[in-house]
Amino acid sequence: MLGVVLVPASVFAQEPQFRQMEITQPRTLGAPVSTQMQVPQVEDEEIGKQFLLRRKAAVPQFAITGDAQYFYTSNALLLPKGKEDDFVFVGTSQASWNPTWIKDVTGSVFVRQQFFRYNRHIDIDFDASAAGFNAGGAVEDWFTLSGGYTATRLESRPTDDEFYKEGDAALIISRSQKFTDRLVLPYGYTFDFYHTSPDDYTRFTHGMFVGLNWAAMQKMLVQVLYRFQLEDYQRVEREDKASIISLAMLYQFTNWASARAFVSFTSNDSSIDRDYEIFNTGAGVSLSLRF
């Protein structure tokens, strides 16, 4: 009934935040302060770094969605010591074309606009623009294979200057093991190649995830998720290992409205001076028009 993986939206939201912090903070890799999901994303499909609720119903040809989330973060500046917490508001609008006439394949072409606003650290407010495509389908009854490409551009709000660009070629292999009608174990492997500007952040990213989905009610999904991620940077000597654990709940009011609550913890271990820990908790709502 309730499908794949639900990752708290704050995890996705901080993908561009990571790049914002690294480029603008003094401990950057030498990239100038130019004036992060991510990231492939589809409304009802598991493609890339943000995983949403998948339904068995046919995907509409077109969708226009709006999303708002507000969350607390314990480490707004990604510092190893002297952490500074903050509250962050993230607004998202997206339009997508989801062709349904391709047999056994789910695909999407989308454009997305986001804005990130901090309560206290307003000097690091930024906007993110993205466009991309993705496609996926089942390989026999063994696993689901999905892939896509997303181009993302980040722009500082205080200066109106572009400070980061990224292209993400993504692949995911996943499977959901059903125990009962209400209990499912999703797990899988993700691969991303990011080519970036500044190019110090060009990297290969490997991820493994496992979760437990519980359909607590007919319209409510609860999930515990663990993800391990390895980032291998290509232009500099750097390797990052991150662990993310999260607890999330999503309630689907109607076909066009849902709400969620989440809590997550991220620990990053880097071969350079980029170790940090983050605790997030918050809530969000989503509205969608499908036709």
Q: Looking at the 3D structure of the chain, how many domains does it have?
A: 1
According to DSSP, residue 199 is labeled: G
Q: Is residue 173 part of a domain?
A: yes
CA 202 to chain centre: 18
Interior angle at CA 149, CA 286 and CA 46, nearest 5: 45
Backbone angles phi, psi at 25, to 5 degrees: -85, 155
How large is the C-alpha radius of gyration of the chain? 18
CA dist 57 and 59 (Å) reads 6
Assigned domain for 250 exists: yes
Within a domain: 3: no
**154: closest CA among 23, 286, 11?**
23
Flag whether 4 is in a domain: no
Domain region containing 119: 9-290
pTM of the model as a whole:
0.82
The predicted-structure confidence for 178-205, as pLDDT tens digits, reads as follows 999 899 999 999 999 999 999 999 999 9
For residue range 24-80, list pLDDT tens digits in order.
543 322 222 222 223 223 333 332 333 344 444 555 689 999 999 999 999 888 878
What are the phi and psi torsion angles at 136 (to 5°)? -165, 165
Residue spans of beta strands (DSSP E) within 140-202: 143-156, 162-180, 183-197
- On whether residue 240 sits in a domain, the answer given is yes
Looking up residue 258, the CATH number of its domain turns out to be 2.40.160.40
